[in-house]
Amino acid sequence: MSSKELVYPDESYAIRGAAFEVYKEKGCGFHEPVYQECMEIELGLRGIPFVARP
């Protein structure tokens, strides 16, 4: 495996999709906690398991 190959390509694609959706909906200019909360919501809606950062 080369260093350019992803170990979990399907999972990476799904997470990137969630991040792009959040950016598309929110745009730029918010502080990180806003994006964190939106990512938690989006990952939950997509059924992607995660552990929220405190």
Q: What is the 3-state secondary structure (H, E, C) of the chain?
A: CCCCCCCCHHHHHHHHHHHHHHHHHHCCCCCHHHHHHHHHHHHHHCCCCCCCCC
Assign 54 a pLDDT band (cuts: 50, 70, 90): confident
Question: Residue 1: what pLDDT?
Answer: 55
Q: What is the pLDDT of residues 7-38, one digit of tens each?
A: 999 999 999 999 999 999 999 999 999 999 99
Q: List Cα–Cα distances, 24 to 3, 10, 11, 39, 40, in angstroms.
A: 30, 21, 20, 12, 15
